Amino acid sequence: MPTIRINSAQSTGQTPKATGAKLAWNKADTATIAELIARYPAGQSRSAVIPLLHLAQRRFGGWLSVDAMQLVAETLDLPYIRVYEVASFYTMFNLKPVGQHHLQVCTNCSCLIRGSDGILKAIEEELHITGGQTTKDGKFTLTEVECLGACVAAPMLQVSEADGAMHYVTNLDAAKTRALIRALQKDDDAALGKLVDTPPAAPDPITPTKYAG
């Protein structure tokens, strides 16, 4: 297993536009990273790039800055471009800042047939933003996404929170969508609890125990 370097100098040949922010893993991150890397054969630590990107996104504000991707690259002894290639391919990674509540509306076939257009319209009317935009108060970002694997309960959306939590909200209609937004605006946990699906939509991509076979 490679040594986990904490905020050491960039050692790869890529010279992206970094902000100079001094990002570093904390002790808990370091322990998590060691567990994640240990899940792969010796010499294959690069396989942990996706969970490390999730960890970086969760730790550093809900998105992946160049500095955050550089830190992942350093940690895995990878060229920066290898990390960027992965981060820019998967839509669950945000390469620019997003709001506290990231509303990701599925507009793929099943959801489209079941009325995802109306869900988008309800959000746009409530928040006065369109796809790819963030509200002025930084609370909400709206994104259209491809199938999230919940076609049986279409139309649906995923709410990704700044702390990394994710929730599916399914069988949507305009009224339920507006109720969701109001609950999020008011941080009304009781109302949210009645709207979001449980258990969480997907395994936690960071916590190693969730991957135990």
| Euclidean distance between CA atoms 27 and 112, whole angstroms | 44
- The region of 5-13, 68-76, 87-95, 145-153 touching ligand FES under the rule CB under 6 A is 145-153
Q: Does 66 bind ligand FES (CB under 6 A)?
A: no
- The region of 31-39, 80-88, 106-114, 190-198 touching ligand FES under the rule CB under 6 A is 106-114
Helix (H) / strand (E) containing 190? helix 189-195
Shortest CB 107 distance to ligand FES, Å: 8
Pairing relation of β-strands 166-169 and 157-161?
A: antiparallel
Shortest CB 36 distance to ligand FES, Å: 28
Question: Could you tell me the two tokens for 27?
Answer: 């002790």
Q: Does 110 bind ligand FES (CB under 6 A)?
A: yes
For residues 146-165, which are near ligand FES according to CB under 6 A?
147-151, 154, 156
Q: How many residues does the structure list for the chain?
A: 213
Q: Between the CA atoms of 171, 174, 177 and 182, what dihedral angle is there, to the nearest 10 degrees?
A: -150
Instruction: Between 138 and 203, name the residue whose CB sits nearer to ligand FES.
Output: 203
| Euclidean distance between CA atoms 57 and 54, whole angstroms | 5
Question: Could you tell me the two tokens for 35?
Answer: 């567990």
Q: Does 118 bind ligand FES (CB under 6 A)?
A: no
CB 205 within 8 A of CB 50: yes
Shortest CB 172 distance to ligand FES, Å: 10
Residues within the interface to ligand FES (CB under 6 A): 106, 108-111, 147-151, 154, 156
